[in-house]
Amino acid sequence: MVDLDQLVSEAKQSFSSTSDAVALEEVKAKYLGKSGLLTEMLKGLGKLDPDSRKTEGAKINAAKSAIEGALQERRQQLADDLLQARLSQEAIDVSLPGRGRGVGSLHPVMRTWERVEEIFHSLGFEVAQGPEIENDWYNFTALNSPENHPARSMQDTFYVEGHDSKDQSLLLRTHTSPMQIRFASNAVKTHLNNYGNLDDMPDIRVIAPGRTYRVDSDATHSPMFHQVEGLWIGKDVSFAALKGVYTHFLKSFFENKELNLRFRPSYFPFTEPSAEIDVAFPSGKLAGRWLEISGSGQVHPTVVRNMGLDPEHYIGFAFGSGLERLTMLRYGVDDLRLFFENDTRFLSQFPA
């Protein structure tokens, strides 16, 4: 008679010497398979007399379940080992920063754009936007820019092939000033349509921020840049109002009540008199210098006429400021090209 204890410990040994599930199932067949050792033994019981059959049967069954138990244990262990191996192979370092998309933020020039809108909105100015492909009338002629004005030359202006329906030549607008004419003449036309006269027409107060284009490129000029145009026309809008509005704007924009402003005589075809607005910071890196920030002036009578208004009765001011320039001064950026390179090392310094 086989020593069953011996058989059980031999089975356990061979189970534990297997290194994977396939090998284990092969070894299992030797003991528990259809013609395995224990199966054969159980078959052999038939030859015994009933009493020994009972006692031997019980012993064999006990050995069988001990082996089955050992098999089950080994299966579990191999499965656990496999899982552990996979886990350590696929280990992730949860302390590494995530690879999700970074949180975006507004481009610094767009921040300025929004800031400018907010400030002028609080002063009762509407915000308007116009086409970037403009025609000769709105960009130059209506603004009293003479035929031979240097801004019209091929060096300064991006002309677009073809003409519009009024046979006007087309160009990428060189400034936001055409919006003065577009917005004011539209307001005048609408009021006339509705009321038949201009008696009670409210003042026209608008800013028009947007992209502008010139053939220009260096540390302080870019072929595409942003401007904001401002216009206030009414029956009694003085140059003093320009000074008041623009001073309030700049002090709010730079969050500095101590700013000094200077209105320096200048020339623009669309204003008379015209002034360049300079600003001086009381402290900081830029202290003590006059920095040019905007063109401005009292709207020229010819331009008022081109808005559909009688310059004998309507008067006002306009200004045009560069948004990049405002942004550079606010944040201390000294190269304009940084705004257009989209280097995130620069842009991420302006978090949301």
Q: How far is the CB of 287 from ligand DAH (least distance, A)?
A: 26
Q: How far is the CB of 246 from ligand DAH (least distance, A)?
A: 11
Q: Is 171 in the site for ligand DAH (CB under 6 A)?
A: no
Q: Is 297 in the site for ligand DAH (CB under 6 A)?
A: yes
Contact 299, 241 (CB under 8 A): no
Q: Given the DSSP bridges, would you call strands 159-163 and 169-172 parallel, antiparallel or unpaired?
A: antiparallel
DSSP 265: E
For 154, counting Cβ atoms within 10 Å of its Cβ (0-12 exposed, 13-18 middle, 19+ buried), the class is: exposed
SS3 at position 218:
strand
Single out the residue of 139, 141, 145, 177 in contact with ligand DAH (rule: CB under 6 A): 177
In this complex, which beta carbon is closest to ligand DAH, that of residue 31 or of residue 339? 339
Strand-pair partners of 229: 208, 320
Contact 134, 172 (CB under 8 A): yes
Q: How far is the CB of 293 from ligand DAH (least distance, A)?
A: 11
In this complex, which beta carbon is closest to ligand DAH, that of residue 183 or of residue 319? 319
In this complex, which beta carbon is closest to ligand DAH, that of residue 141 or of residue 177? 177
Contact 188, 309 (CB under 8 A): yes
Task: State which of positions 237-296 bind ligand DAH (CB under 6 A).
Answer: 268, 271, 295-296
Strand-pair partners of 291: 279
Q: Helix 108-122 crosses helix 323-331 at what angle (to 10 degrees)?
A: 100
In this complex, which beta carbon is closest to ligand DAH, that of residue 209 or of residue 297? 297
In this complex, which beta carbon is closest to ligand DAH, that of residue 229 or of residue 324? 229
Single out the residue of 319, 323, 328, 336 in contact with ligand DAH (rule: CB under 6 A): 319
Single out the residue of 41, 318, 326, 336 in contact with ligand DAH (rule: CB under 6 A): 318
State how far Cα 191 lies from the chain centre: 39
In this complex, which beta carbon is closest to ligand DAH, that of residue 14 or of residue 145? 145
Q: Is 320 in the site for ligand DAH (CB under 6 A)?
A: yes
Q: How far is the CB of 347 from ligand DAH (least distance, A)?
A: 26
Query: For residue 318, which of 137, 146, 183 has the smallest C-alpha distance?
Result: 183
Q: How far is the CB of 257 from ligand DAH (least distance, A)?
A: 25
Distance CA 64, CA 259 (A): 97
State how far Cα 116 lies from the chain centre: 19
In this complex, which beta carbon is closest to ligand DAH, that of residue 210 or of residue 297? 297
Distance CA 53, CA 32 (A): 19
In this complex, which beta carbon is closest to ligand DAH, that of residue 57 or of residue 269? 269
Count, residues near ligand DAH per rule CB under 6 A = 11
Q: Is 204 in the site for ligand DAH (CB under 6 A)?
A: no
Q: Is 229 in the site for ligand DAH (CB under 6 A)?
A: yes
Distance CA 161, CA 114 (A): 33
Interface stretch with ligand DAH, choices 109-117, 130-138, 316-324, 332-340 (CB under 6 A):
316-324
Q: Helix 108-122 crosses helix 239-253 at what angle (to 10 degrees)?
A: 130
Q: Is 175 in the site for ligand DAH (CB under 6 A)?
A: yes
Q: Is 178 in the site for ligand DAH (CB under 6 A)?
A: no
Contact 279, 290 (CB under 8 A): yes
Distance CA 134, CA 64 (A): 95
Give contact residues for ligand DAH (rule: CB under 6 A).
Answer: 175, 177, 229, 268, 271, 295-297, 318-320
